Structure 1
């Protein structure tokens, strides 16, 4: 009898928790991200055509080393991107597509990358907000959380097995006694989780410990 009671209680609790999860609002559930790409834009690869929400679009690398998001018929010039480091002719732009499922949403991660040493000198996470193209996350937001643009940085993002979007920044430094470029070292100094708030229709960020993921209070970002 006790064994039957325990089995019944286990089934009841599982069914209750399962139903509770799927009755939660989407904003309270963890949306899963996926990444595809990259697409590199530079003086040899000046145009990348794609579709978003059935609209024909293109990224264009122009003669002033500026990356532009435009409609393919040239009637709309939506957003522009430029490396914050001077001498931008040596830079390329790396574009990756980021998607969520249920609901289906598409965003684009853009980095300005120095061609020789691989440093990152620009970061944008963009997408549609209502009827406009906007920048959800940029260096303006990252600086507020400890990013130092004066350092030599390498930025990258990854998807965890659970589908979380994690941003990581490494900075390059010369160790004590070092003199030559090959002696430079890298260390992680910023680790963030980017998440989508369905209620706010905007990205937020959680600052994570450098060694392990830990939940912290979410902070909604202002528009830039």
Structure 2
């Protein structure tokens, strides 16, 4: 755990560049797309899981002026970058929490929406199973979980980086990519996958049953 935390603390200095390279989303359009597709309302309580440097959490806070957004990550380095980004915005509905995705420190039924952008593939094994269980637990009945991940890129170099990431996940990680819809349908209802208009990214959303 500590080794992974240290890795992401260092990675925080390059994280935004890597995500932009993969998704070609320099204007953060995809984050707005995810926010709208999540169905988030102005008064909702939202958790952005594995928030990284906070790009999605910051945008979600625009959609919830009377609500609350929490960006959660286990890397203090990532959250320091997130706070730096958000500092000038002075939003009173945006908070940062250091915690592990497999042990969310919130009461059951706390959130209307939980999101995860370009990070679910980093969670494998027991951590991933616990994270998905905690997501379901922390959603209110009828609440929505939306995750965004890369589709396999066509550009040779970016495709190489994509497969390098899958390789780092090991055999289990690669199986998750192949069978993620079945996995999510065992936990959530009304699971829908769509390819975003850019063609480089996929969005999967599901709901917690009543």
Q: 1 or 2 for the larger relative contact order (CA 8 Å, sep ≥6)?
A: 2
Structure number with the higher helix fraction is: 2
Q: Which has the larger radius of gyration?
A: 1
Is the pair's TM-score, using the shorter chain for normalization, greater than 0.5?
no
Q: TM-score, normalised by structure 1?
A: 0.25
Structure number with the higher strand fraction is: 1
Q: TM-score, normalised by structure 2?
A: 0.26
